[in-house]
Amino acid sequence: MKKTLLALFSLLLLTMTTPARADLYTFENGVRPDNLTGGKITNTRGYADYGFGDYFVWSNGEAITLTLTDLNPAATLNLEFDLAIIDSWDGSNRRWGTDMMNVAMNDELIFQETFSQFNPDEQSYAENPFVSGQNLYRNGHWQDSAYHISLTDLRPQGDSMTLRWFANGSGWQGIRHSRDESFAIDNIQVNPVPEPATMLLFGTGLAGLATLRRKRQEA
């Protein structure tokens, strides 16, 4: 019985110690990972009080791209990141919009929302921002806002994945004006969703331990 109990305990340890995430990307001391391209590493200034580090990746026009390789082709992934919406984004305003933030996985859109710093009714993203109503990144009278974004159940269906963050829209001014309507990201985290087989093994191990415990108490 002791050998059986030890075997089940080892199985539990194996399933419980399976890595919970593929990687965690931050920008400590302004150092950029090799697989992250685009944008500019710059100081977060006031954003550090809202979950961002000392540095984030800022862009006023070009896309920010993260490439992951050596993935399990059958894997399902969750993506989380912090997003700063900077300066005079106008959402779906008829005169000044449309201003949209996008995330694409292997050229397929997985996130597209309008953001407005002025009128909540012109913003399609419903989550409340960390902060709004003050300019945290650059001096000026535009308000900024910051969000934590979670995208779940992503299936790259291959052993590599390219994630691309970019803004666009008929009214988005980031490309034309370097001091207006930009965005930044930080704390990018990609987590594999536990496979059903792993969860089944975990549950079987727990059930086995419970059965052995009951038999031992009855003996």
For residues 18 and 198, the answer to whether their CB atoms sit within 8 Å is yes
For residues 193 and 78, the answer to whether their CB atoms sit within 8 Å is yes
User: Strand runs (DSSP E) across 72-206, as ranges?
Assistant: 77-86, 100-105, 108-114, 132-134, 144-154, 161-168, 182-192
In a domain, 23, yes or no: no
Q: Is residue 115 helix, strand or coil?
A: coil
In a domain, 182, yes or no: no
In a domain, 211, yes or no: no
pLDDT at 110: 97
In a domain, 215, yes or no: no
The residue segments making up the domain with residue 70 are: 53-162
pLDDT at 209: 46
Q: What angle do CA 122, 112, 130 make, to 5 degrees?
A: 65
In a domain, 19, yes or no: no
- Tell me the Cα Rg of the chain: 22
The first and second tokens of residue 100, run together, are 């949209």
In a domain, 113, yes or no: yes
Residues of the chain with pLDDT under 70: 1-25, 139, 176-179, 195-219
For residues 60 and 178, the answer to whether their CB atoms sit within 8 Å is yes
pLDDT at 18: 43
Say if residue 152 is exposed, middle or buried (CB neighbours under 10 Å; 0-12, 13-18, 19+).
exposed
Domain count along the chain: 1
For residues 81 and 149, the answer to whether their CB atoms sit within 8 Å is yes
pLDDT at 217: 53
Q: Which residues contact 34 (CB under 8 A, 6 or more apart)?
A: none
In a domain, 169, yes or no: no
In a domain, 177, yes or no: no
pLDDT at 7: 47
Q: How far apart are CA 71 and CA 69, in angstroms?
A: 5
The first and second tokens of residue 45, run together, are 């200034």
Q: How far apart are CA 104 and CA 120, in angstroms?
A: 24
Q: How far apart are CA 55 and CA 188, in angstroms?
A: 13
